[in-house]
Amino acid sequence: MCGIVGYIGPKQATTLLLEALRRMEYRGYDSAGIAVINGTGLKVRKAAGKLSNLEKQVAGDLPRGTVGIGHTRWATHGAPTTPNAHPHTDQSGRIALIHNGIIENSGSIRKALLKRGHTFTSETDTEVLAHLVGELYQGSLEEAVAAALREVDGAYGIAVICTEEPDVLVAARNGSPLIVGIGESERFVASDASPLLEHTRSVIYLDDGEMVILTRDGYRVRDLEVKHIDKPVNQIDWDLATIERGGYEHFMLKEICEQPESLANTLRGHLLEDEGTARVAGLNLTDDELMSVERIIITACGTSWHSGLIGEYMLEELARVPVEVEYASEFRYRNPVVNDRTLVVGISQSGETADTLAALREARRRGARTIGLVNVVGSTIAREVDGGTYLHAGPEVGVASTKAFTSQVAALALLTLRIGRLRNLSILQGRQFIQALTSLPAQIEQILSRTDELKVLAERFFTGNNALYLGRGVNFPVALEGALKLKEISYIHAEGYPAAEMKHGPIALIDENMPVVFIAPRDAVHSKIVSNIEEVKARGGKVLAICSEHDTEIERLADATFTIPQTLDLLTPMLTVVPLQLLSYYVAVRRGCNVDQPRNLAKSVTVE
Ligand code: M6R
């Protein structure tokens, strides 16, 4: 979603804000803007399109001032035009405001403001909020913001400045992430930690309903009434080099190639090989509590939902607990059967996905224990759940999720071991599972050493605008994930399907122009999927199979193959997905697409 940043300190704000927006551009990139306060008032600059358009606009005429706010937008209300870009100002032009989220009652507030003589220059809900703050301003920005926010419904992370109070920056959050950075005589506020790292590692994570009032030398946190809130200062322990491209052409490629390490990091310190189990201390659940779990619901969105489906196979097979996997966006609005014997697992790379957060809150309201498998440390989901584990995959910047997926599946494997060993899994099975898990990083390394083969296959197979991905069992979710990766970064229409379902409809699509990617490692359903490949070949389809080494049967049938090393059936997704990530990457690069910032998408979806 949108990225917001604010600065107050001794330095010139414009350069600093532009650098910060560059780091957050992955959050939204359809327009950008800044506002700074200087002796002559408020300087606002905005441009539609990429951040580079804004940079060009201000080059040679950098607005001067040491307090300012900046925004990179992912449109919700109104098209991605310059007038709709943030910051927005109030009627008097004294107040500038940036916003990430949606003000749900902006329509009625706009009508009331129009009646009172306000005029608007954009279609946005944010401009309405800026006008409301301006109307309520009576000499204290802090009080005007608090009063305005008491009138609005919806989600927001906002930062506000006012020419009448050039030494104050006010920010507030409700449903959209906001982090405060505490530097030496300077303060920052941002949607995530990435723009803060080069300035400070000391941060405060704001919670919903909280406001922060920043000055150069101090800060105060309060609620929307008058209550003061004491907040702990946390230290961020990852550094800037970890989020830079490090010689790779794109973040996505870097992140795909980091998987041997990211996966090892997810597993590190959790495996107890002698006992054939996993230690997941962060779950905050005793053995008795885990034994009393009657049902598990996994809830997530997008790629994280796909990893959840793989978790279902693992948990049911090895831990023998009934599992359901639900799209968070659906779960939050139904009337799910949940009680205190239900364990609800939320999976999220960002830890900020609005639907997943709302689903977990709903589950808690209904008495369930909630746990989070989350990558971003200190994110809202991580802080709100009853327990969980961090993925430790490192920052994922590419909008297409890659290394977070393999780490999510690994975290689900840890959960499976932990619950499985209490119930159904023997010590020998547990040890075997651990040995296979610990071999995966090296096996991924082997796959990555053959990326050239995938470059050639990408050229050869994906020449049209459609593709079909078919898998069975635990590799059916991998088919979904392969199709999602392809469509989101290369704009080729791709569908993932259970291979046997194909004959109930999608088979009609098959001809010599339709590439069909089979995910077909040698596993319990191997003979079944071989029959499905035969069915496609019989209709002239073009088959690319991801299969196990030395699978002569599939090699004979398919038009091309890419082989993966042998592992346990349930762990194959962590290997089969890697060539699919690389295939979509090479297809997108060949088509000239913006791999790291695909159109219409955002890294962290903080609106519903
Ligand atoms: O941060 P989350 O894991 O909660 O995000 C969920 C989805 O928005 C995300 O996986 C999305 O589908 C990605 N673009 C997939 O590559």
Q: Is 426 exposed, middle or buried (0-12, 13-18, 19+ CB in 10 A)?
A: exposed
Within-domain flag for 168: yes
Whether the predicted pLDDT of 293 surpasses 90:
yes
Whether the predicted pLDDT of 496 surpasses 90:
yes
Are residues 22 and 71 both part of a single domain? yes
Ligand 1 and 488: CB distance under 6 A: yes
pLDDT for the residue 493: 96
Are residues 156 and 213 both part of a single domain? yes
The number of the ligand 1 atom at minimal distance from the alpha carbon of 604 is 1
Task: Fill in the DSSP letter of residue 116.
Answer: T
pLDDT for the residue 102: 86
**Do the Cβ atoms of 17 and 69 come closer than 8 Å?**
yes
Look at the chain and report how many structural domains it folds into: 3
Is 254 tagged catalytic?
no
Across 596-605, average pLDDT: 84
Distances (CA, A) of 45 to 11, 21, 53: 19, 13, 11
- Share above pLDDT 70 across residues of the chain, in percent, rounded to a whole number: 100
Quote the CA–CA distance of 59 and 45 in Å, as a whole number: 11
Are residues 486 and 588 both part of a single domain? yes
Within-domain flag for 606: no
Instruction: Out of 605, 606, 607, 608, give the residue to mutate to test ligand 1, the one with the largest number of ligand atoms within 8 Å of its CB.
Output: 605
Are residues 236 and 305 both part of a single domain? no
pLDDT for the residue 602: 80
Within-domain flag for 602: no
Is 603 tagged catalytic?
yes
Phi and psi (nearest 5°) for 427? -60, -35
Range of weakest confidence among 20-24, 308-312, 356-360, 589-593: 20-24
From 2, 162, 301, 593, the catalytic residue: 2
Ligand 1 and 401: CB distance under 6 A: yes
Q: How far is the CA of 284 from the centre of ligand 1 (A)?
A: 26
- Alpha helix positions (H), 390-426: 403-423
Q: Which helix (H) or strand (E) holds 211?
A: strand 210-214
Residues 296-334 have pLDDT tens digits of 999 999 999 999 999 999 999 999 999 999 999 999 889
Whether the predicted pLDDT of 1 surpasses 80:
no
Are residues 442 and 300 both part of a single domain? yes
Ligand 1 and 407: CB distance under 6 A: no
Q: How far is the CA of 404 from the centre of ligand 1 (A)?
A: 9
Whether the predicted pLDDT of 412 surpasses 80:
yes
Within-domain flag for 603: no
Q: How far is the CA of 355 from the centre of ligand 1 (A)?
A: 11
**Do the Cβ atoms of 86 and 73 come closer than 8 Å?**
yes
Q: Which two tokens stand for residue 324?
A: 């359901």
Range of weakest confidence among 5-14, 52-61, 309-318, 479-488: 52-61
pLDDT for the residue 243: 72
DSSP string across 513-557: T-EEEEEE-SSTTHHHHHHHHHHHHHTT-EEEEEEETT-HHHHHH
Quote the CA–CA distance of 535 and 525 in Å, as a whole number: 16
Phi and psi (nearest 5°) for 469? -115, 125
Residues 163-199 have pLDDT tens digits of 999 999 999 999 888 999 999 999 999 998 889 999 9
Within-domain flag for 439: yes
Instruction: Out of 329, 349, 396, 595, give the residue to mutate to test ligand 1, the one with the largest number of ligand atoms within 8 Å of its CB.
Output: 349
* Averaged confidence pLDDT in the chain: 94
Residues 422-464 have pLDDT tens digits of 998 999 999 999 999 999 999 999 999 999 999 999 999 998 8
Residue 78: pLDDT band (50, 70, 90) is confident
Are residues 149 and 276 both part of a single domain? no
Residues 504-553 have pLDDT tens digits of 988 888 888 899 999 999 999 999 999 999 999 999 999 999 999 999 99
Range of weakest confidence among 46-50, 71-75, 417-421, 528-532: 71-75
Are residues 253 and 215 both part of a single domain? no
Ligand 1 and 572: CB distance under 6 A: no
pLDDT for the residue 290: 94
pLDDT for the residue 80: 86
Whether the predicted pLDDT of 556 surpasses 80:
yes
pLDDT for the residue 237: 80
pLDDT for the residue 37: 96
Are residues 250 and 379 both part of a single domain? yes
Within-domain flag for 340: yes
The residue among 448, 473, 504 that closes a domain is: 448
Q: How far is the CA of 29 from the centre of ligand 1 (A)?
A: 17
Ligand 1 and 256: CB distance under 6 A: no
- Share above pLDDT 90 across residues of the chain, in percent, rounded to a whole number: 83
Within-domain flag for 300: yes
The residue among 212, 241, 270 that closes a domain is: 241
The residue among 417, 448, 479 that closes a domain is: 448
CATH number of the domain encompassing residue 301: 3.40.50.10490
Domain that holds residue 61: 3-241
Give every strand in the sheet of 295-300, ordered side by side.
Answer: 323-327, 295-300, 342-348, 369-374, 387-390
Whether the predicted pLDDT of 278 surpasses 90:
yes
pLDDT for the residue 324: 97
Ligand 1 and 356: CB distance under 6 A: yes
pLDDT for the residue 454: 97
pLDDT for the residue 76: 77
Quote the CA–CA distance of 219 and 187 in Å, as a whole number: 8
Are residues 40 and 81 both part of a single domain? yes
Are residues 483 and 511 both part of a single domain? yes
pLDDT for the residue 27: 75
pLDDT for the residue 6: 98
Whether omega before 87 lies within 30 degrees of 0, making that bond cis, reads: yes
pLDDT for the residue 419: 96
Are residues 368 and 487 both part of a single domain? no
Question: Torsion-angle region of residue 192: left (phi > 0), alpha (psi -120 to 50) or beta?
Answer: beta
Residue 294: pLDDT band (50, 70, 90) is very high
The number of the ligand 1 atom at minimal distance from the alpha carbon of 300 is 4
pLDDT for the residue 608: 76
Within-domain flag for 27: yes
pLDDT for the residue 48: 93
Across 140-154, average pLDDT: 97
Ligand 1 and 348: CB distance under 6 A: yes
Are residues 211 and 302 both part of a single domain? no
